[in-house]
Amino acid sequence: MNRNRRLAWILGWRLASRSRLRTLLVCLTIALPVAAGTGVAAVTATARVSMPEAEAAAFGSADGRLTALSGERSADATAPARLAEQLKPSLPGDTRLAYDIDVLGLTIRGPEGRQSTVDGRAVNLADPLTDGLYRVDQGAPSAQDGTIVLSAVLADAVGITKTGQSVSIGSGQFTVSALVADRFDLGHRLFALPPGGPKATAALASAKDLGSPRWFVTWPPQADLPTVSGKLKGAGYAYVSSSQAAAISGQGDAMDSTALLVGLGLLAETVLLVTAAFAVVVRSQRRHMGLLAALGAPAKVTASFLRTHALCVAMIGSLAGIAAGQLVARVAAPVLAERAGADWGPVDGAWATSLVLAAVAVAVTVLASMLPSRAALREDPTALLKAVPPVHSTRQLRLRTAAAGTLVTATVAGLAAVVINAGALTAVLGVIVFAAGITATALVLSSLAARKADTSYLPLPAVFRSAMRSLLAFPVRAITTVIALGVVAAVSTTVLIASASVAHKQREDYLPELPDTSALIISSRPLTTTERGALRSSTGASEVSTGYQRAAIARDGKQLPVSPRTDFLDCIDDRGLLKYGNNDWQPCYLASKSHIPFPAVGIADTEGAEALAGTMTDEQRQRYESGQAAVAVTPVGLTNEVSLVAMGRKPDGFVLENTATLPLIHPSTARKTEYQQLPAVLVSQAGARTSSIIPVGSATYLLNADSKPAQQDVLRALPVDAQADSTVTVESGPSVVGAVARLQPAVAAISVLTTMLIVAAMVSLWTSDLRREYQMLGAVGATAWWRRRLASSMSGLLIVISCVTGTLWGIAASIAFLTGMDTDIAVPAGWLAVTVITAVITAAVMGGALVPRHARAQRQA
């Protein structure tokens, strides 16, 4: 090794290993952002749905799917072989197909008589084309008729513990060949039945409904897809290759945006924290730098020694950060996944991102060490030997003010662009606002403080005033710390506001299937008031609503369900086809602003309407009973007027028919939560008659209790003659959509904790930097208690200044980001207050605690 380089390594490494406390603090300032970044990257990578995963979830290992254009139920839906024969002329030779159809409302009974009516699919999971659709937890899917695959949740519900046990559907017995899990809908009760055999056909016949036939398809290598597509359209099918997968994968985009925001914030935070830390380190080494110069060391040796020190500390900090981040991710990801109600699978370490973060941190640290060391090396060795702080020239001051002015201008321009709604650029502008804003504020403060740099450092009687004067006596130190802590406050504020706003949006959008304390009863016959009373008393329920029925209109011998016209229906194009190219509702649901899935209209009397939607005023009740108005049960996406639309399927697409437009009542005591199993809108019997709507299907009741009712208990409490063919649902399906809402408290707590740690590290550095000054104050008669109060006040002041500027810029950045994301701003005032109070207390305590007890008269003793 080159002699000079070896000397630099010795000096650099020794500085790190001998000044353990300072090294620990600097490592902490590097490790915390790296750990946070690594943790976020790993959790995001674990949680996100990649395109290949989305494709596997949508298409298995097939190239894509063929879906029926009409959405009509085919007469041959339970006979895939016949359907395949009809399709063959439209397909190239060697095309491979695997049949798939949605099965709705199939009742499955377990060995102990426990039953569950669920939706699932008839698909042969033993077919290689379906590989990857589900994760097989136990056994292996079979293609044999008489076998069935269950999800773990459904197996649990019907009392199946292992493969090989049997369930019955109608009179048919099915052997469970495998237990599976769907990564994205773990909580769903689903089954997969290999179609085609006599047992499966009989079972499907007992389902309440079947979807449109679909096929997984793999094309031969030379297939001419445009030609094939044309032929398929003629046969009533469309080929879907990626839209559904893109829709599933798209769910991860919001998560990626959040991760990007956090990443950019962390980058800015790392840059400024490390710069502030190394300003302290270089200042502490001024005497050594002067000494090296006096001994004849070339400037490159001195620069190299500080660079090497930075490299050592950065490597240690980054590695510690990666280790801590990975550890946190491994502990947190399963907990977060459970809270989100999803199975994220094994933790993805996102090692590439972690290494990039570490490399960036190392590069930033080395650069941060170079800037102050280069500035110091330009000074006379005698000035360095005296270890006096550098004096800023008027020129430097002007340059700094000019830079601040430029950044302020850029910030104002960025804010103006946000205000005038610059569209897609707003997210980018958010970054500019964030980075430029905080830097500009700090630089302006720096310029102002530098003008006061000659302020006397003699303590004044009042500790608080002394603290202020002491801060001004060390303007560069104070400002670098303010910048770093301001960025911490800004990042923390941004994370808190962004997570709270996204959580708020998701709470708005989230439609839980049922609340935990409710059961939905679809009774085979209407229940009398006495029977409902008996049901209430025997289940301990507080309320059992009067029954309501779904609304429909009769057209061409069919019953067309009636829905409120919401933007969900805008997903249907002018040809009456769903814009997303298949018959699945999910892409429409994702694209819809109202997010009301399967919107429906129900018919109920006034008592039932109030039980479901909330108490109405006398005037509203009168309007509802007379049929002049409808009442909103799920108000999201509905205004003060609602158009009722009947939706039917025709061979060439959908048919939409407006039946009535009614004023909509929003009861003042409306429920806070919305249940997607309830109708969105209710009309009275009179309203139904006016709108030519008829009640169809079974009477449905909502049972509310104080605690989660047991499905079997509710079923047994029904009249004996109604038990057999009634369905009781107590399931409260977890929703991936609500993940951020559920995780928001955890995110906020982590943000507060991280802020506290960074503040502790920075204040410790600051206090250790002023160690000798405190010792000198002791030498001139300041008591230890006085010095502690001075240190606490100075640290507290620093944090207050940092928090004020940082929080303001955090709010500005959040507004810029969230405006771009079309999200309402939710300011979590409580969490912000907790963050600020925690930071101030931490700073004051750390500042006071680290003041040296002993007094020394000499500055360089």
Q: How far, in Å, CA of 54 to CA of 586, rounded?
A: 13
295 touches another protein by CB under 8 A: yes
Question: Which window, 11-19, 108-116, 365-373, 482-490, contacts another protein (CB under 8 A)?
Answer: 11-19
In 19-109, alpha helices (H): 20-47, 51-59, 80-87
Report helix, strand or coil for 240: strand
Dihedral-angle region of residue 105 (phi above 0 means left; psi in -120 to 50 means alpha; beta otherwise): left
Nearest alpha-carbon partner for 72 in 209, 212, 208, 207: 212
Q: Within 383-422, which residues bind another protein (CB under 8 A)?
A: 385
Name the minimum Å distance from CB 298 to another protein: 6
Site string for another protein, 334-373 (x = CB under 8 A): ----------------------------------------
Name the minimum Å distance from CB 297 to another protein: 5
Name the minimum Å distance from CB 850 to another protein: 20
Scanning the structure block, which residue is given the tokens 């004067």? Answer: 469
- Total binding residues toward another protein, as defined by CB under 8 A: 26
374 touches another protein by CB under 8 A: no
Q: How far, in Å, CA of 505 to CA of 267, rounded?
A: 27
7 touches another protein by CB under 8 A: yes
- Nearer residue to another protein within complex by CB, 162 or 386: 386
Which positions ≥6 away from 395 have C-beta within 8 Å? none
Q: How far, in Å, CA of 740 to CA of 510, rounded?
A: 11
Which positions ≥6 away from 607 have C-beta within 8 Å? 545, 546
Name the minimum Å distance from CB 302 to another protein: 10
Name the minimum Å distance from CB 372 to another protein: 18
Name the minimum Å distance from CB 337 to another protein: 47
Name the minimum Å distance from CB 296 to another protein: 3
Using CB under 8 A, pick the residue from 294, 352, 458, 829 that binds another protein. 294
**Residue 77 structure tokens:** 């839906």
Question: Which window, 16-24, 521-529, 711-719, 810-818, contacts another protein (CB under 8 A)?
Answer: 16-24
287 touches another protein by CB under 8 A: yes
Are 207 and 550 spatial neighbours (Cβ–Cβ below 8 Å)?
no
Using CB under 8 A, pick the residue from 8, 9, 15, 430 that binds another protein. 15
Using CB under 8 A, pick the residue from 136, 202, 223, 291 that binds another protein. 291
For residue 548, what are the β-bridge partners? 604, 700
Name the minimum Å distance from CB 6 to another protein: 8
Are 216 and 65 spatial neighbours (Cβ–Cβ below 8 Å)?
yes
Question: Which window, 2-10, 135-143, 556-564, 799-807, contacts another protein (CB under 8 A)?
Answer: 2-10
Name the minimum Å distance from CB 290 to another protein: 8
Q: Within 296-315, which residues bind another protein (CB under 8 A)?
A: 296-299, 301
Nearest alpha-carbon partner for 34 in 259, 266, 262, 257: 266
Using CB under 8 A, pick the residue from 73, 114, 231, 288 that binds another protein. 288
Using CB under 8 A, pick the residue from 382, 542, 617, 658 that binds another protein. 382
User: Quick one: how far is CA 405 from the chain centroid?
Assistant: 37
Question: Which window, 286-294, 480-488, 536-544, 583-591, contacts another protein (CB under 8 A)?
Answer: 286-294
Name the minimum Å distance from CB 378 to another protein: 9
3 touches another protein by CB under 8 A: yes
> Crossing angle, helix 286-294 and helix 299-340, to 10 degrees?
150
Element housing 715 (H / E): helix 711-717
Name the minimum Å distance from CB 301 to another protein: 7
Are 120 and 193 spatial neighbours (Cβ–Cβ below 8 Å)?
yes
> Crossing angle, helix 771-779 and helix 739-769, to 10 degrees?
50
Report helix, strand or coil for 518: strand
DSSP label of 489: H
Are 150 and 168 spatial neighbours (Cβ–Cβ below 8 Å)?
no
- Nearer residue to another protein within complex by CB, 89 or 296: 296
Are 578 and 621 spatial neighbours (Cβ–Cβ below 8 Å)?
no
Question: Which window, 179-187, 294-302, 673-681, 842-850, contacts another protein (CB under 8 A)?
Answer: 294-302
Interacting residues with another protein (CB under 8 A): 3, 7, 10-11, 14-15, 17-19, 287-288, 291-299, 301, 380-382, 385, 860
